[in-house]
Amino acid sequence: MSKKITIIGPAYPLRGGLSSYNELLATKLQKQGHQVKIITFSLQYPNFLFPGKTQYSNSLPLDDLHIEVSLNSINPINWILLGRKIKNEKPDLVIFRFWMPFMGPCLGTLGRIIRRNKHTKIVAITDNIIPHEKRFGDRLLTSYFLKSCNAFLTMSKAVLNDLKSFDISKPAVFNPHPMYENFGEHIDKFEALQKLGLDKDVGYVLFFGFIRKYKGLDTLLKAFCDRRLKEKKLKLIIAGEYYDSPQEYLKLIEDLELKDSVVLANHYIEDTDVSLYFSAADLVAQTYKTATQSGVTQIAYYYNKPMLVTDVGGLAELVPHQKVGYVTSQNPKEISDYIFDFYENDRSSEFSKNIESERNKFTWESLIDNLFKVSGLS
């Protein structure tokens, strides 16, 4: 039976993985016959929480989506007026996207107002419960939000366990992050290398996404100075915009004498270019210091790319060791050992073949089924 559904979270014209995810979810729900609206932010972050260049996308949104730009994350009057509007619209299901405590007051207030209609079920898709970069008051803000929801869907078992630490007795289910399918098809590796202006006789490891301290780029750079990797003619592609000062990383590249081993593409990678970087890469590295799950993993799965991830949060749940890639400690020597093994023993074909079967676990249909089940609407 068709449902009336409102998704509240980032979407076009905002950029990034959260926006792409919400737009894909809306598209999949519409294809199942549901009436879907996304409410996104007119103001998402104050400047002190967003050190990047811009929050807005240069790409076009997915077709046939109803996106309303009306939520201000720091204006309580806006929360009240918008909450009343959604309450009166009586959607069957509201899906909140929750990823940081700062959003707790805004989304928590909306949820409390919407639930007064005694009809709408509220489910939160929770990327993080305990943030990567902690601030004073995080737990209080998160608790305020959690109390406004009927149920929860987490995308890693680590987040599910974090949720339990808040003594929440409401229904909660784990469903892994589905694959991103909106960045275009895989293209021939050599064509991708040519378009990026890269040497086709070199092997490439990809570090992709916003560059933040918790993502451990410094650890990967230290691993990459291993003499064996230099002899293998390998290069590290760093594709993404800096969230922190670039000086720490640029100095490390210089100190480790890695200038000839690193390709810097330090700008936001538009949706239309994502396929180029993943098609050009042999191995995708996520040497995170802390994590729950990562959308980068799901892009790698879509492009059939083997992965190297650190054993933090939920990353190891998604990447079976020695089957589709490697799960490693944060020790640079161990990381370089696995990168060397990948190229020395030509693991690419073996891992890519295994990815083809493993990726069946990461479907949007499974996530949607679990959303309806946990909400009580199935």
- Greatest C-alpha distance within the chain: 66
pLDDT computed for residue 88 by the predictor = 98
Average pLDDT, the chain: 92
pTM of the predicted structure, to 2 decimals: 0.89
Strands 307-310 and 325-328, sheet pairing = parallel
Q: Which overall architecture, per CATH, does domain 189-361 show? A: 3-Layer(aba) Sandwich (3.40)
Q: Which overall architecture, per CATH, does domain 4-178+363-375 show? A: 3-Layer(aba) Sandwich (3.40)
pLDDT computed for residue 21 by the predictor = 94
- Three-class SS of residue 86? helix
Q: For residues 315 and 300, what is the distance between their CA atoms, to the nearest angstrom?
A: 13
- Please determine whether the domains at 4-178+363-375 and 189-361 fall in the same fold group of CATH: yes
Q: Residue ranges of the chain with pLDDT lower than 70? A: 47-62, 132-134, 167
pLDDT computed for residue 52 by the predictor = 58
pLDDT computed for residue 343 by the predictor = 97
Strand partners, 265: 239
Domain ranges of the chain: 4-178+363-375, 189-361
pLDDT computed for residue 54 by the predictor = 60
Output the CA–CA distances (angstroms, integers) from residue 3 to 35, 82, 340, 366, 377, in the order listed: 6, 21, 51, 17, 9
Q: For residues 209 and 269, what is the distance between their CA atoms, to the nearest angstrom?
A: 8
List, in sequence order, the alpha helices (H) in the chain: 17-31, 76-89, 104-114, 138-146, 157-164, 189-196, 217-224, 227-231, 247-255, 271-280, 295-302, 315-318, 332-344, 348-358, 364-375
pLDDT 10s digits, 131-168: 766 677 899 999 999 999 999 999 988 889 889 888 67
pLDDT computed for residue 132 by the predictor = 61
pLDDT computed for residue 191 by the predictor = 96
